[in-house]
Structure 1
Amino acid sequence: MPKTQELYLHPTSPLYLLKKNNMLDHITETTLLLDEKKCRQNIEMMAEKAERNNIRLRPHFKTHQSAQVGEWFRERGTTGITVSSLKMARYFANHGWDDILVAIPVNIRDMALVNELAAKVQLHLVSVNIETVQALTEQLQYPVNLWLKIDTGYHRTGILPHSHEQLDAMVALLEQSDKLHFTGVLAHDGHTYKQSDTDAIRTIHHTTVFLLNLVRDRFKARFPDLKVSIGDTPSCSILQTISGVDEIRPGNYVFYDLTQQHIGSCHYSQIAVCMACPVIAKHPERNEIIVHGGSVHFSKDSLTGADGSTIYGRVVELTDTGWSEPLAGIEVVSLSQEHGTIRASKALFDRYQIGDLVGILPVHSCLTADAMRGYTLLDGTQLEHLSGTGR
């Protein structure tokens, strides 16, 4: 049995009376905890790196999607942000942000919202095809900044850097528009998330920077102020020196998660979110603990363990000041819609009783935060999330 001051105990436990004034005692359901101190440290780390490299930090807010967390960035000097949808842009515009890049290729079916935003903020949009540029040219009522997204190896979407005919046609159309300002070229190195070797991540980063600059150089004589922007947490976290770009757009670093730790982007101590899951069943014949915490809370993202097993989360010990690093001999081995299955050693299995809380670090904090629709700070304060506001 661990020290009683470190383990949450259900009120029915005989040891419960030894615990007083613990915020965890008031948690009644699956809850996403947020450590503000760790979060602010992560914000500070990336802001300092950007300043040291003389580049602009335009953090991606899709991970936290919270007006209150956004204020922590503002306090550190952030002025421009990245979002992943027009709806998210409107949410943050309504909370005072006025320089917003929507990093997904613009949805031309929602031109009404595009014009609504362009009327009140410095709006940056992304295009990967000439049809979008044409639609914007015809339907925009207010000026916007347009970035061309380049496919530098991720192959999700984007213009191939050597597609000169396509690029030339899009830029020619941009030159004719009085509403579109050709601002720069950008990329997202999503393929760094599949790496766990820092040299491979550096290679991906340097290749992307090289290709983006090739595209910029093609048009620089006509557009001397073109910018280069990249955005992925692994390269922005691992690299200490970042050159050849004007702007970085990492997002996940605000919370980090098990995926980033596996890649090498962070240490366990930097993961700023943790799920508190009630124990609802125990099965001693197979040393499995069932918690209320399933795919509707975490998503079904997973990692492959050193032994080839599939891991859906790592168990930590909750305390009244946060949580420990992952415990050895216990891990989340499966998720269904509402249930999480934890397999544990006999000693760890015996620690937990029905009604106790189990702390679990998420594999993917962005999806976990989106599913949970809000946060609880370690002092019990509640923070909102866009998906829980109805806006």
Structure 2
Amino acid sequence: MVSKLEKISSPTFVVLKKAVEANIHHFKQKAQFNNLTLRPHFKTHQNNTIAKQFYDLGIRNIAVSNIAMAEEFSHFQWDNISLAFPFNIREIDKLNKISENTQITILVESIETLDFLNQNLINTIGVYIKIDAGYNRTGISYKNTAMVQQLINKIEESDKLILKGLLSHFGNTYSAKSKEEVISIYSISISLIEQLRQGLDQAYNNIPISVGDTPSVSIVDDFGNVDELRPGNFVYYDWMQYKIGSCELNQIAAVMICPIVAKHNDRLQIIIHGGAVHFSKEGYSENNEIRYGQAVNMDNDLSLSLIADTFIKSISQEHGIVQCTEDSFGKFEIGDLMVFIPIHSCLTANLMKLDIEFV
């Protein structure tokens, strides 16, 4: 472990800058090769240092989860910021303010929201129509062509709204257990959106399509008739993405480092200061048990290697219980630091925004 990290005394989220840059560069090249716009989702990192890496590598369109996040990153002068979440009409004043100097695109999925926007918007904004292609979280069903066309007509009639296209998120890929399953989910979902698009009035048969989830964008090579990719997790990756097959170990760009506070020989368990308030409580099922983080070695060159059968077995607010083998248990002492790959880096990064190191 590099000397800078040896000084860590409390749970710390550590970002590997070269791996981040390599991930951004790879996805930018992949988008360019397919003649697509890369619009990375910033909800994963929520960090200005990472934002600058994107900007310096030529990225000019981004996605965020809310207006507060848009405000945080607006000083970079992006060409466009997309609020990739159904617009909350209670934030109309904030939308009017930020859209004075920033090009904003929002998501809608109801006539009610469009009517409200037409009555209350001050500035012109772009609009994507949110489509549900089978994930069943939110959006207009791909089956409801008439409703989508109704929203299109409403947007086109407005002097404050600019139609940008159809947008969907294939979040069901995160439950996939193989690359083949990810490709299948993507192919089915895209075909359903294309079916919807061809059912619209002829003038909209080529309306732009924006999609984005890290498993699909990592694994799929042929994206079909889409125009924009909006992955977010790829900037760091995590244990879930590694197990799905989205990344290699050397692409994982963020880890948690936690101090050891106790050891229990009879159970081959290590107690770390690192709990749900640091990692989140999202787990990943392996071998019929839930795991909350995978232990790894970190060499001086920042390369990672797995510590076999050593993982966070359970988690409470501040405690993490690490299940070890006899071999791994004997290699750590109270006061040592352990390194873990988070299960879901988006949630861990959000919790650890104030306790972050870059190496």
TM-score range, shorter chain: over 0.9
Tell me by how many angstroms 1:207 deviates: 2.1
Change over 3 Å in CA distance of 1:224–1:139 after alignment to 2: farther
Q: TM-score, normalised by structure 2?
A: 0.96
Change over 3 Å in CA distance of 1:345–1:197 after alignment to 2: closer
Task: Report Cα offsets for 1:222-244 as digits up to 9, x if no partner.
Answer: 45773111011111100123221
Give the match for residue 369 of structure 1: 349
Tell me by how many angstroms 1:197 deviates: 2.4
Tell me by how many angstroms 1:314 deviates: 0.7
Give the match for residue 63 of structure 1: 44
In the alignment, structure 1 residue 228 sits paired with structure 2 residue 205:
no
Q: How does 1:1-391 map to 2 (within 5 A)?
A: 22-219=3-200, 221-223=202-204, 226-305=207-286, 307-374=287-354, 375-378=356-359
Partner SS state of residue 242, structure 1 = coil
Q: Are the counterparts in 1 of residues 197 and 205 from structure 2 also a CA contact under 8 Å? A: no
Partner SS state of residue 141, structure 2 = coil
Tell me by how many angstroms 1:81 deviates: 0.4
Q: Are the counterparts in 2 of residues 187 and 208 from structure 1 also a CA contact under 8 Å? A: no
Partner SS state of residue 306, structure 2 = coil
Partner SS state of residue 53, structure 2 = helix
Q: TM-score, normalised by structure 1?
A: 0.88
Q: How far apart, CA to CA, are the structure 2 residues paired with 1:318 and 1:222?
A: 55
Q: How far apart, CA to CA, are the structure 1 residues paired with 2:110 and 2:163?
A: 14
Moved more, 171-180 or 232-241: 171-180
1:361 aligned partner, one-letter code: I
Q: How far apart, CA to CA, are the structure 2 residues paired with 1:106 and 1:47?
A: 28
Change over 3 Å in CA distance of 1:261–1:49 after alignment to 2: same
Q: How far apart, CA to CA, are the structure 1 residues paired with 2:111 and 2:305?
A: 49
Tell me by how many angstroms 1:304 deviates: 1.3
Moved more, 51-60 or 94-103: 94-103
- How many residues align? The count is 358
Q: Are the counterparts in 2 of residues 234 and 263 from structure 1 also a CA contact under 8 Å? A: yes
Q: How far apart, CA to CA, are the structure 1 residues paired with 2:131 and 2:346?
A: 24
RMSD of aligned alpha carbons: 1.6
Q: Are the counterparts in 2 of residues 67 and 95 from structure 1 also a CA contact under 8 Å? A: no
Partner SS state of residue 341, structure 1 = strand
Partner SS state of residue 94, structure 1 = helix
Q: Are the counterparts in 1 of residues 237 and 247 from structure 2 also a CA contact under 8 Å? A: yes
Partner SS state of residue 190, structure 2 = helix
Q: How far apart, CA to CA, are the structure 2 residues paired with 1:222 and 1:275?
A: 50
Unaligned runs of 5+ in 2: none
Task: Report Cα offsets for 1:231-288 as digits up to 9, x if no partner.
Answer: 1111110012322101110110000000101111011221101111000111112111
Q: How far apart, CA to CA, are the structure 1 residues paired with 2:308 and 2:294?
A: 9
Tell me by how many angstroms 1:343 deviates: 1.3
2:210 aligned partner, one-letter code: S
Unaligned runs of 5+ in 1: 1-5, 7-20, 379-391
